[in-house]
Every structure is written in structure tokens, then in C-alpha cells.
Amino acid sequence: MQDRDPRRSLPRTDAVLADPRLESAASHLGRARVKRAVTEQLQALRTDVVSAGAGTDAASVVDAVLRGLPDGATSLQRVINATGVVLHTNLGRAPLSPAAVQALATAAGYVDVEFDLTDGSRARRGRGTLAALRAQVPDAEAVHVVNNGAAALVLATLALAAGREVVVSRGEMVEIGDGFRLPDLITATGARLREVGTTNRVTLDDYAAAVGPDTGCVLKVHPSNFRIEGFTRSVDVLDLATLGVPVVADIGSGLLYPDSLLPGEPDVTSALRAGAAVVTCSGDKLLGGPQAGLVFGTADVVEAMRRHPLARALRVDKLTLAALEATVDGPPSPTHRALHADPDDLRGRCERLAADLADLAEIGAEVVRSDGVVGGGGAPGVTLTGWAVALPESYAAALRSGRPPIVGRVERGRCLLDLRCVDSADDEAVAAAVRAVGAGGV
Ligand SMILES: *Cc1c(COP(=O)(O)O)cnc(C)c1O
């Protein structure tokens, strides 16, 4: 029996790696990555031929390795977001527009990010991106871009209030997610928090009583991921600006100007007009761009932030600058389109998907109402009227393990596929994936 031990007939690693199909994979994934996959596959065959479930000749080993290799050299997988949550933090928040993706590719090589091609001298880093932002928000005297919204707030606090006090309402002491809390972020800069008011109510007098010679700034934080309703009162930027100290407005989600779809959502232009010295927000929330922290404000405060020693530690790379400019200057972002999707159009797409699956009677695909949400720390009270195709609950896990994975939403024992955030060009791929799961007998 020893002679029949299949372990004896396993091909050598080198022999497998020499297969042209794997050489081609190595050219875009890297030789080390492919070699590791081959070693793992051979090891699996060596330890347990049956459960490795594959032939032991070189061609079969290559087949198995190719099945297990990713399409690209990143372990990140493209995911089809059928959750109806537009800014899904766990799915990478805002998807970039094709224009922004193209800008990323351009910026990947050598670029004139900090170079003046006319005279060969050094030029202002990211000047095109800053100009695009200024053009969208003419009320801002100056603009700066950092790594994310939290970094923008840190830099504003450092520039205005290090060693001094930041006056903030108790109702705005927000945890942004994953255990990170804005009050901790602020005190980590060396500023002291001066809390005013109560969880549900604060008045201008509360702020006025707290403001003094030690005040660095007053901070107004938009409670972007929760809502307090009922007996509440807060003070808006317009009134805070009368206190005679700089007002920092952290609006969170990055609307540059008002959006009638999101009436409760603050925007950069309005906050500046109301008198904020600095407005900070994220690039990858409602703006629909890459992760970034945007800073708009008066020339002196923005310049103080830009020249602060820590600004260098928070600066963005050329890829972000490129994608941000393309987002701000380019066609509507996928985020914008998902937010403003026409419910009738969504319904039509869902009906076509359900009709397409009608012959799979056992899954009972059915069009149902589905309220989308903004998600990602934006517009917590807003629901977006939409539609979904309901499938048996077991489809949720099966679709997640497909290629590309499709992430639906499980609700009341059913798997809902909400097409709001699905590119209509992917509708057929969704139908095919559901069909493949059906054929697999889930
Ligand atoms: C999201 C958010 C932040 C943090 O922004 P990041 O870009 O995630 O760092 C800060 N403040 C508010 C109000 C937010 O909504």
C-alpha cells in the first residue's frame, strides 16, 4: 500500500511554478505570493489528499492554486453593496467615481504635485485640489486638506487652543466609532475641555459664562451619528460667532452647500456664512470622495494650521489629492447618485431582477419596500425611500462568499438586496450570482 501513497507522486514546487499560467499570475501578483499558494496547496495535499479535494498531478495543482489566488495584488475584495446603506463604514465608506479612479491612476506615477513645470521650481502641494475646493466654496478665504476628519479637528484645536480651553456643549461630546471619542481627541492635543450645558440643553448664556481669557476656541460638533429629540436646545454657529472667540464647526459629513434631500445636515458654506472661523469635515462621507479631512476658513486660522509642525504628520498623499480634485470638480459621485436615486427607477430595476429570477420558484424572489439610509455618520434621522428584492435568508451568507461578494441586508428572516448602491451595470451580475446560489442548492 505504501507504493500507492499519493504523497509520493506530488510534483515539485518548482515544476508547478514553471507552469505558464502561474508565471503569468506571478507577473501581476508577485512571485512570492504565487509560490506561497503553491506551497500551501502541496502541503494540503501532503497532509490530507481527500479533503484537499484535488488531483495531485501538476496541472490539477495549478488549477487549484489559480482558483485560490485573488484577481489583484491586494487582499481587499471588491464588494457589491446591496445593503441600502450609502456610506457603509465597514465597506469603505464612499466609493470613488470613475473620474476619481482615473485620477488615482494618473497620480500613481511621477506627477507635478509639488513642482512647477514652467520654471522647474517647487510649487504649492496640491494647488489644483485646493483651487477646486475654493471654487466650490467661495466663502472660504483659505482651504487645507489633511488625512481625515479627525485630523482636521486635531489640527484646528492645536492651532487655536493648545494649552488653552475648548468650549463645547455636553450634548456634542460625540463618539465617532470604534471607541474613538472626540473629547479624548481634543484633550490629546493638550487643550482643555470646558463643557457647557447639559446633554439635552445648552444656551448662549452657558457658552458666554465659560468664555474667558483662557478660551482658545468654541467648538460646535454636529451630532452626525445619533439624534436627541424632545426637550432639547442647542446654539447655532450664528449665535456662537457673537462670543468674540473663533468658532470651529466640525460638520462631519462634508456637504459643501445645502442639499434639500438632507435638510438637517449642516454644510460648509452655511457654517462659514454664519461666522465660523474654521469648518472641518470628512472627504469620504457625503462629499463622496477619498478619505480626507477638509478645512475651510479664514486666511489667518487656516495658515496657522498649515504651518503648525504637526501639519506635516497629517498631510495627504498625492493619490488623495488627485481623487479629491476629481470628485469635487468632476461628475456626480456614486454617493450623490445613490442618495438621489429615483425610487421609481429603483423599483423598476428590482422588478426586472425579480422577473429575471421568477423561474426559480423555490426562492420566491419578491419586490419589497426598503428604506435606505445614509450611514457612515451622516443624517441619522433620514430614510431614503427605495426598494429591494427579498430572497430566503440563507442567500445572505451564500452571496457574501461569491466573487465578487454581494452584501445584502438580513431583515425579518429574509435577505434583502437593495439596489440603491449597486451600479446598474452590475444588475445582471447580481442576477447571475443569485442564480448560481440557487443552482448550488442553498
Ligand atoms: C465622521 C466624523 C468625524 C471623523 O471624521 P473621519 O474622517 O472619520 O476622521 C468627526 N466629527 C464628526 C462630526 C463626524 O461625523
At 51 the pLDDT is 53
pLDDT at 217: 98
248's CB contacts (< 8 A; 6+ apart) are: 153, 156, 157, 160, 166, 217, 218, 219, 220, 276, 277, 278, 279, 280
Between CA 104 and CA 321 the distance in angstroms is: 9
Q: On the CB side of 101, how many CA atoms lie within 13 Å of its CA?
A: 7
- Give the number of the atom of ligand 1 that is nearest the alpha carbon of residue 221: 13
The pLDDT-based confidence of 50 (bands split at 50, 70, 90) is low
Is the pLDDT at 52 greater than 70, yes or no? no
CA of 281 from ligand 1 middle (Å) equals 7
Question: Could you tell me which of 68, 59, 46, 71 has the C-alpha nearest to residue 18?
Answer: 59
pLDDT at 46 (0 to 100) = 86
Q: Which of 277, 63, 239, 247 is nearest to 166 (CA)?
A: 247
> What average pLDDT does this structure show over 10-19?
91
Structure confidence by residue, pLDDT tens digits, 166-196: 999 999 998 887 788 899 999 999 999 999 9
User: Does 441 score more than 70 pLDDT?
Assistant: no
Across the chain, what does the average pLDDT equal? 93
416 pLDDT more than 70: yes
Long-range contacts of range 181-188, CB-CB < 8 Å, 24 or more positions apart?
182/153, 182/221, 182/250, 185/150, 185/153, 185/154, 186/153, 186/154, 186/157, 186/219, 188/154
Q: Percent of the chain at pLDDT above 70?
A: 96
pLDDT for position 270: 98
Q: Whose CA is nearest to atom 15 of ligand 1?
A: 252
Residue 382: band (very low, low, confident or very high) from pLDDT cuts 50, 70, 90: confident
Q: What is the pTM of this model?
A: 0.91
Pocket of ligand 1 (CB under 6 A): 148-150, 174, 176, 221-222, 224, 250, 252-253, 282, 293, 377
Q: Does position 53 have pLDDT exceeding 70, yes or no?
A: no
Look at residue 303 and tell me whether its pLDDT is greater than 70. Answer: yes
Tell me the average pLDDT across 214-224. Answer: 94
From the CA of 223, give the closest atom in ligand 1: 13
- Using the predicted structure, report yes or no on whether residue 202 has a pLDDT greater than 60: yes
Look at residues 60, 71, 14, 63 and name the one whose alpha carbon lies nearest to residue 39.
14
Kindly report which listed range (23-32, 210-219, 258-267, 376-385) carries the lowest average pLDDT score. 376-385
pLDDT of 2: 43
**If you measure from the C-alpha of residue 139 to the centroid of ligand 1, how many angstroms do you get, rounded to a whole number?**
22
pLDDT for residue 216 is more than 90: yes
Query: Residues 97-104: what's their mean pLDDT?
Result: 98
Q: 71 C-alpha to center of ligand 1: Å?
A: 33
Q: Would you say 42 and 61 are in contact if contact means Cβ atoms under 8 Å apart?
A: yes
Quick: pLDDT tens for 329-365. Answer: 999 999 999 999 999 999 999 999 999 999 998 899 9
Query: CA-CA distance, 123 to 28, in Å (whole number)?
Result: 35
- In this predicted structure, the answer to whether residue 247 has a pLDDT above a threshold of 80 is yes
pLDDT at 1: 42
